[in-house]
Structure 1
Amino acid sequence: MRPALLDPLFAPATSLEGVGPKVVAMLENIVPADLGTREARVGDLLFVLPNSVIDRRSRPGIAQAAEGQIVTLELTVDRHQPAPRGKRSVPYRVYAFDETGEIALTFFHANGPWLEKIMPVGAEIVVSGRMEWFNGRPSMVHPDHIASAEEADSLPLIEPVYPLTAGLSPKTLRRAIGQALGRLPEMPEWQDAEILRRQTFPAFDLALKRIHNPTDPIDASPQNAAWRRLAYDEFLAGQVALALVRARTRRLSGRALQGDGALEAKIRAALPYSLTRSQEQALAEIHADLTKPERMLRLLQGDVGSGKTVVALLAMARAAEAGGQAALMAPTEILARQHLATIAPLAEQAGLKTAILTGREKGRDRETVLSGLADGSIHFVVGTHALFQEHVAFHDLVLAIIDEQHRFGVHQRLAMTAKGDAPDMLVMTATPIPRTLVLTAFGDMDVSRLTEKPAGRRPITTVTLPFERLNQLIGRIHTAIAEGQKIYWICPLVEESEEIELTSAEDRAATLRNEFGDAVGLIHGRMAGRDKDAAMLAFKNGETRILVGTTVIEVGIDVPDATIIVIEHAERFGLAQLHQLRGRVGRGDRASTCVLLYKAPLGEVARRRLEVMRQTEDGFVIAEEDLKLRGEGELLGTRQSGAPSFLVARIEEHADMLETARDDARLLLARDPELTSPRGEAVRTLLYLFGRDDAVRLLRAG
């Protein structure tokens, strides 16, 4: 049950004065919480934090006020100059002065009687706003604040600036947030006293009040103790939730998978190469986990082309030796079919049967697979999320492998877990994730890393090229095709859109066909699965030599003799995505090239991205750089991708506190696994506050 203390914050935002359905719809655009299927609540507004402040402490006098500066002026009203009758476009001006000069306060479509009431001639007033100079004369258009000299103390000198959305005025938002703060109950302290002392954290409610009502610009900075306090609260909530998921998954205790290594040996013998040192190391760690009675929960991180699928297959062989089944789940059908192409022939050498299950298997084919999984005659199954639909039953699923984990959240991990009698779980990703993000997204997992490329892989040369030199590139591609090479050509859009002038995949394919005829193929996300497969197959078999596509080809597609990849409008892509795309080439024994086509002039961030791509092929270095350039929200693909996106924490500012939060969460749960102590009860409140209440339900489920 949610603590009654939190009820005022869980009331709908429409219960606030001045917040009707129309305003709430606008508020929902800026609330950082993932509202999904629910309406905005009062508590959501507390976490709409300012992105900057306006400092109104500067009082230079009229003559010294610089153009564009925000100033506060103490004035005497001299005269009013209303707009001439019938001329609505002429502004209403109020002239006022101080000892340094005169200023025109300018109002468009003004309400004259109201202005005369708040600024009577001869009155002493205080105004605050942005200075403008017209023809050498000072002016302030629509001052932000106007008050009589007696009320001057009521002016906010430091004013928070919030993210806004069309139609929502800063005043309405500020008033709603002020009301939400007024409903904030006194919270129990969930933080450890020693951490509070060491970090000089204020109490939770004081931290929120300081950020929303700053008395100095530093109060609203993410580096300030108040903001760091809230970030640490959020990290702790996340780490406690992950630790509870882990404890629950471990408690559904697994079983020791012992094998004699015979099937694994047969698969190894069928491999045309030997494993790298880090592949052997990762396998040793996986085998050690599998032999323990507790469930395995391991993340296998390997850069593009580092050979994760083979490690997965050898782990699956161990599951088969122990008499069980293994499932490998991929985020897309293309990738699932590719895994099947790698795994099935090798598994066959060891007498093991592999099947595929995606949304496309229908009728008799589907029934055959389902009955083979149920009776145990199918040892390995590869598929998409269709694998954990309700009617898919396994004979004895002991190992679940999830590829490209960031496309699946914790909930899907739990759904997959429910399929077997608590199967061991191996999660793979080719997105190199910096250590800080491993902690936030996968704090509940052990991590193995594949750090080397398989033997024989050549480095990829990366070059940047402005669009003006496109003709040179076309000439170079003519030569490459004559030498028997294959080329990927990536475009950011599927079809031309009027707003953004980018060459779409369809248009680019058409212009390249004028040059290269039928050698050009096309693949994009809006094509039917069957057509995508046909386009891929034609490219693989050499019927087409240039494959124009969108980022559909980003993950896992394997054509060893593709040696050139052209990425158009490279400045539009994030670093992680550029790195993923580049990994589509360099998979054979020939030298490969990645051409980053860009449109000048480049912004600072885009320039830095392209520079990083030229300098390194190390995915982990790239991921750390990406984190610096973009922040955590976008790092693992899109914001909606199950990647951690925080309400108040900013990974790039607050990462130093993550490990402390993880250790704190583990220690807390080791001492108080049911969260029943006074601090445990307070932490339950924290979990509800940051939307981690799923974890509280896990506690109840035992």
Structure 2
Amino acid sequence: MRPTRLDSLFMPVSALPGIGPKIAKLLSGLLTGTQEREARVVDLLMHAPSSVIDRRLRPGIARAPDGAIVTLELVIDEHRPPPRNSRAPYKILAHDESGIIELVFFRARGDFLARTLPLGEMRLVSGKVEWFNERAQMVHPDYVVSPEDAQGLPAVEPVYPLTAGLSPKTLRKAMKAALKLLPTLPEWQDGAFVQQQRFASFTEALHALHYPETAEDGALEGKARQRLAYDEFLANQLALALVRASIRDHGGISRPGTGDLRQKILAALPFELTEAQNTALDEIGADLASDKKMLRLLQGDVGAGKTIVALMAMAQVAESGGQSALMAPTDILARQHYASMLPLCEAAGLRIAVLSGKDTAKTKREIGAALASGEIDVIVGTHALFQSTVEFALLGLVVVDEQHRFGVHQRLALSQKGQGVDVLVMTATPIPRTLVLSYFGDMDVSRLLGKPAGRQPIKTVSVSLDRIGEIVGRIKAAVAQGQKVYWVCPLVEESEKIDLAAAEERFGDLVHSLGPVVSLVHGRQSADEKQSAMTDFKEGRTRVLVATTVIEVGVDVPDATIIVIEHAERFGLAQLHQLRGRVGRGDGASSCVLLYKGPLSESGAARLNILRQTNDGFLIAEEDLRLRGEGELLGTRQSGTPGFRLASLEAHGDLMAAARDDARLVLANAEAQSGGAQLSGPRGEALRLLLYLFGRDAAIQLLRAG
């Protein structure tokens, strides 16, 4: 149950004075992203300003800098209304001791201006000053108040993200009412840390954010925002730590294995494992042998050899009598994992099968029966694996490929199909450390740096779309020499039909130029159509594969040496790097051509430059975080991703590690005192309030009752 002291903050925004159903709907859309659930007072308080306007500069007219926001004390001298039916502006002349200024209003009502700026009287006027022909001008001042109402003019004013139909004035009024509802809250942060950082209390920080007295109060780097960012990070890290403790505490099973199957796989490999692969295997092997549940993230750049590491882990589980499931995000990728692992499994005597939603009912029944009876050691599949009808004899390990495409609930659903199931998450999207912490908590991480021996770096060039004819000519020559080429067309979800048409049109153009050596793959095709086009390309019946981004993840054609990415400026850095990784998988020299439509934006040019300069996925991920922010880095926001409201990983990333350490310490102390993950005592009770405030209350259900 949510503590009653928080009730006022969980009231709907329509309970605030002056907020009717229409404004409540607009606020809900702005604050929660949907109008279906009404926003609450706490959602409004977490709505951070995007910037602040400092109105404290009072230089007098003559000393007002051009383009600056200033506040002036003016005497109103003359009203100059425009002629009737004219579109000319209404002008008002005013002065102070230092000079004269012209106040300009477009489409304004004269009677309103006569009341607001009466002749001969003094008014405080605030807005942006511009100089024309040595005369000062202010178009549509932001504020006009009488000396008696001077307190109504904010010295420092927060500027909020808004939505159509919602005025800044309405939002500020609602915010003022919301702040009055803040109850007295205990301190949940560590006392010594608060002193060291010179943080105010949570309530004081919220007041400073929404009613700043100085520009620093409202700034992203200011102490108030830092305090609130740390609170949000702490709630996030504590929730993840509780989930982790819950997974770990519900007994793992030791699966040390005998090494027999692993030796057979190594003997069947046509290459030696890299040092990074051996290190990762040692770490995973130790986790599997321990009696605590494994929760490990295996990060490896495109082509770094994650699949073989996963297969060796699955072999260790099979040696201990358990089954493993590898879950892939797409049907193509699941079947490809199966095809690449099948010869090694056959060499080692591991029984492997593949299952997807596209299989016939009969196939699903047969595989289901073999899984339930223990006749299958390794199953590879899509989300079909966590349907309630799928049962395992003894599931010991779940390997999740491309984790960010699955929600947390799906991961947990699969790991609950067995006793003490270990979880290994694989991603080829290199995730910066701060993002690993925010998405996975203090998860154990193994990194596969470098690539297998014999792989050559990919040469990357960017070319304007105006020169597409030249590129097609070069591809014709490459195909004549027996090379294979990917041609990627962008896919933007809002206009899937248009993009599909674009891919089909490009396919038609290339067939016309190159002949019948071109095949097409896109998301609207059936699994069989996709598989057929991929097989034709893989086996060399076609030489050019035109595709939308369905080929982004895990398509493996080692002798493909060229990839052309059309409209490269539309893709994010991580996605471009993923696509580029489709080539350079064999021992031939490979190229990536980024076709862009100019003129490029500043960030578009920066993205293409970084890609030309480096093949290092981790460096690219750090740059992507800097350029685009965490919201976009892992593709669209997926279920189970944090979506911070007050914290920014770019501005406050250094606080994340401190929050992680604090959360870890809180739970370690709780374990030491009570033998379970509890939040008790004064600080524990305060931390429960924090979890509710930041919407992480689902984690509270994982606390041991006691």
TM-score scaled to structure 2, two decimals?
A: 0.94
Following superposition, the deviation at residue 60 of structure 1 comes to 3.2
Q: Could you say if the C-alpha distance between residues 294 and 499 of structure 1 is closer, same or farther in structure 2, counting changes exceeding 3 Å?
A: closer
Task: Give the corresponding residue for 1:557.
Answer: 555
Equivalent residue letter for 1:448: S
Matches of 2:494 and 2:681, distance apart in 1? 60
Matches of 2:355 and 2:608, distance apart in 1? 39
Within-5 A mapping of 1:394-433:
394-433=392-431
Select the residue among 656, 663, 666 that pairs with 1:665. Answer: 663
Task: Give the corresponding residue for 1:249.
Answer: 247
Equivalent residue letter for 1:9: L
Secondary structure in structure 1 of the residue aligned to 2:362:
helix
Deviates more, 1:126-135 or 1:683-692: 126-135
Contact 2:566 2:594 in 1 (8 A): yes
Within-5 A mapping of 1:60-459:
60-84=59-83, 87=85, 89-132=87-130, 138-459=136-457
Q: Could you say if the C-alpha distance between residues 609 and 117 of structure 1 is closer, same or farther in structure 2, counting changes exceeding 3 Å?
A: same
Contact 1:71 1:128 in 2 (8 A): yes
Task: Give the corresponding residue for 1:681.
Answer: 685
Matches of 2:131 and 2:497, distance apart in 1? 35
Within-5 A mapping of 1:520-559:
520-559=518-557
Matches of 2:176 and 2:549, distance apart in 1? 44
Equivalent residue letter for 2:272: S
Task: Give the corresponding residue for 1:41.
Answer: 40
Task: Give the corresponding residue for 2:16.
Answer: 16
Secondary structure in structure 1 of the residue aligned to 2:204:
helix
Matches of 2:244 and 2:494, distance apart in 1? 46
Q: Could you say if the C-alpha distance between residues 21 and 392 of structure 1 is closer, same or farther in structure 2, counting changes exceeding 3 Å?
A: farther
Matches of 1:217 and 1:691, distance apart in 2? 29
Matches of 2:405 and 2:502, distance apart in 1? 25
RMSD across aligned positions (CA):
2.4
Equivalent residue letter for 2:47: V
Secondary structure in structure 1 of the residue aligned to 2:592:
strand
TM-score scaled to structure 1, two decimals?
A: 0.95
Secondary structure in structure 1 of the residue aligned to 2:515:
helix
Following superposition, the deviation at residue 91 of structure 1 comes to 4.0
Q: Could you say if the C-alpha distance between residues 273 and 36 of structure 1 is closer, same or farther in structure 2, counting changes exceeding 3 Å?
A: farther
Deviates more, 1:41-50 or 1:409-418: 409-418
Task: Give the corresponding residue for 1:694.
Answer: 698
Matches of 2:530 and 2:132, distance apart in 1? 61
Q: Deviations over 1:116-153 (max 9, x none)?
A: 33322211111112234567654433321111122224
Q: Could you say if the C-alpha distance between residues 455 and 501 of structure 1 is closer, same or farther in structure 2, counting changes exceeding 3 Å?
A: closer
Q: Could you say if the C-alpha distance between residues 448 and 495 of structure 1 is closer, same or farther in structure 2, counting changes exceeding 3 Å?
A: closer
Contact 1:494 1:504 in 2 (8 A): no
Q: Could you say if the C-alpha distance between residues 419 and 218 of structure 1 is closer, same or farther in structure 2, counting changes exceeding 3 Å?
A: same
Q: Which runs of 5+ in 1 are unaligned?
A: none
Within-5 A mapping of 1:48-67:
48-67=47-66
Matches of 1:166 and 1:66, distance apart in 2? 32
Contact 2:229 2:646 in 1 (8 A): yes
Following superposition, the deviation at residue 258 of structure 1 comes to 3.0
Matches of 1:283 and 1:501, distance apart in 2? 42
Following superposition, the deviation at residue 84 of structure 1 comes to 4.7
Following superposition, the deviation at residue 468 of structure 1 comes to 3.0
Secondary structure in structure 1 of the residue aligned to 2:207:
helix
Matches of 1:461 and 1:492, distance apart in 2? 21
Following superposition, the deviation at residue 24 of structure 1 comes to 3.0
Matches of 1:497 and 1:585, distance apart in 2? 28
Q: Could you say if the C-alpha distance between residues 496 and 57 of structure 1 is closer, same or farther in structure 2, counting changes exceeding 3 Å?
A: closer
Deviates more, 1:592-601 or 1:67-76: 67-76
Matches of 2:608 and 2:415, distance apart in 1? 41
Matches of 2:563 and 2:180, distance apart in 1? 57
Secondary structure in structure 2 of the residue aligned to 1:237:
helix
Q: Could you say if the C-alpha distance between residues 347 and 657 of structure 1 is closer, same or farther in structure 2, counting changes exceeding 3 Å?
A: same
Matches of 1:36 and 1:7, distance apart in 2? 22
Deviates more, 1:295-304 or 1:639-648: 639-648
Contact 2:75 2:95 in 1 (8 A): yes
Following superposition, the deviation at residue 501 of structure 1 comes to 11
Following superposition, the deviation at residue 560 of structure 1 comes to 0.7
Q: Could you say if the C-alpha distance between residues 421 and 35 of structure 1 is closer, same or farther in structure 2, counting changes exceeding 3 Å?
A: farther
Secondary structure in structure 2 of the residue aligned to 1:268:
helix
Following superposition, the deviation at residue 37 of structure 1 comes to 6.6
Contact 2:500 2:522 in 1 (8 A): no
Within-5 A mapping of 1:481-496:
481-493=479-491
Task: Give the corresponding residue for 2:673.
Answer: none
Q: Could you say if the C-alpha distance between residues 498 and 150 of structure 1 is closer, same or farther in structure 2, counting changes exceeding 3 Å?
A: farther
Contact 1:303 1:432 in 2 (8 A): yes
Task: Give the corresponding residue for 2:674.
Answer: none
Give the share of equivalent positions with the same residue, in percent.
Answer: 60
Following superposition, the deviation at residue 23 of structure 1 comes to 2.3
Secondary structure in structure 2 of the residue aligned to 1:622:
helix
Contact 2:52 2:219 in 1 (8 A): no
